[in-house]
A = this chain, B = another copy of it.
Amino acid sequence: MNRARSAPEAEAASARAPRAVPGGAVLRMADLHAGVADPVMDTMNFLNEVTLNYPEAISFAPGRPYDGFFDTEQIFTHLRRYLDHLADQGYSPAQVRGAVFQYGPSAGLIREILAESLRADEGIDVPPESIVVTVGCQEAMFLALRALMSGPDDVLLVSSPCYVGITGAARLLDAEVVAVEERASGLSCADLEAAILAERVRGRRPRAVYVIPDHSNPSGVTMPLDIRLELLDLAERLDVLILEDSPYRLVSPGAQVPTLKSLDRGRRVIHLGSYAKSLFPGARVGYAVADQPVLKEDGTTGLLADELAKIKSMITVNTSALSQAAVAGALLASGGRVSELNEEAAAYYGDTMRLTLRGLERVFPAERRARLGVSWNAPSGGFFLTLKVAFNADNAALDRSARNFGVIWTPMSYFHPEGGGDHTIRLSTSYLTNADVEEGLRRLAEFVESESAEAHPRP
């Protein structure tokens, strides 16, 4: 039986329907929320789609994990593992069925497993109740911003350059962002403090500071331990929160500096987590650790995580049970340690980063480097490094690079909320094979040489 309307009914309806309107609804961009016209909104789509536009080019643009380690059958294994785990925990078949098929708690199904992994991998020791499972780290950012940015005077501090996911989310919420220029060594707490105090003088209320302390996207810079401690101290003194986003830690080789959250004595840190790099992006599972107490009007105290879950219930209701099951299954299979699961991947990414750095030395030897005004940083892990050039590295330059030289990169200007980065490009090393890195850098050097020749024609 087809429950759609029958043919005569449809005809009758059609005859009575309003006549086709020549124009009908036409929306103007100016009538939509300003966020959609903001350049930052196009950036992430660019990052995902640029490779489609130039299929032959080697792309240093997308911050995607290398997918050579993925195996489609793993999905079935992971799901089965989690279902078996539920059965082991005493779930009846009907309860297992309910857990994966029905609506679930907004805060998530797999918080206990995540809490164990955070203890084992990151020295972050929080009760499961302070965790909210989210649709990727992006939703975790969105929830944290929505909770904290409550009035027109509230401001979020970010470094410049800064990941576009946070500035884009702020834009959608009409939340004010103040950018603090990063130094070559990364964010300076003195600069940050000056910015916070300046905002206070302007009558505004700095609520939180967003940072990617480890192998940052886009700059590749890692915050040293002493700066982390200084930042925590600053957050306490100036009564602001820290949004810590660290997707690249467990896919980087060797020991990492402790997370801000593991050093957090005053519950100043909301830790925003991602499994997109350490497990796989397609699951869209991330989380927020929000163990801050919230004093309610009736005198009782709850957790910020509860408030984030409430917000989540009005955005996505809950995170896909299938995705949560796949992630939990993968964690259970590795004894709850994402770090162990990623040993091979982390070594691979480390090798690729080193290969890229050696490749840059080779294609830009000292003389050429000096002549072209080229320099770069040397991250010890993560997916990104930045390259300074003498020409304007804008979209037009990118287009020439892709079309004439078959190599793609990301203009760093995308990541500067208040301008800057015009002479810097971001190179992502994560997604490429070794052969592509080598060939891509050769092409990149040719492109840089060509730009230099055009900008400064030599006799």
Contact = CB atoms under 8 A, between A and B. Distances in A.
Interface of A: 1-6, 9-10, 13-14, 16-21, 23-37, 41-42, 44-45, 48-49, 62, 64-65, 67, 70-72, 75-76, 79-80, 83, 93-94, 96-106, 120-123, 135-136, 138-139, 142, 146-150, 165, 168-169, 171-174, 225-226, 229, 232-233, 236, 239, 241, 249-250, 252-258, 262-263, 265-268, 276, 280-285, 292-297, 304, 307, 309-311, 313-323, 326, 337, 339-340, 342-343, 346
A316 B48 contact: no
Contact of A75 (B100, B232, B268): B100
Contact of A255 (B5, B14, B318): B5
Contacts of A149: 33
Given A76-B76, A233-B18, A135 B320 contact: yes
Given A65-B102, A169-B315, 5 more contacts: A10-B123, A27-B293, A32-B307, A72-B96, A76-B79
A42 B314 contact: no
A25 B267 contact: yes
The complex is assembled from copies of this chain, and their number is: 2
Contact of A322 (B13, B48, B326): B326
Nearest to A52: B105
Contact of A283 (B6, B280, B320): B320
A219 B378 CA distance: 62
A368 to B, nearest CB: 35
B292 A102 contact: no
8 contacts: A2-B340, A5-B262, A29-B294, A29-B296, A48-B105, A49-B105, A142-B314, A320-B323
Contact of A9 (B255, B268, B294): B255
A41 B29 CA distance: 31
Given A41-B313, A322-B320, A339-B3, A102 B64 contact: yes
B146 A5 contact: no
Nearest to A31: B150
Contacts of A250: 3
A256 B165 CA distance: 42
A9 B226 CA distance: 12
B281 A102 contact: yes
A375 to B, nearest CB: 29
Nearest to A250: B3
Contact of A122 (B4, B16, B225): B4
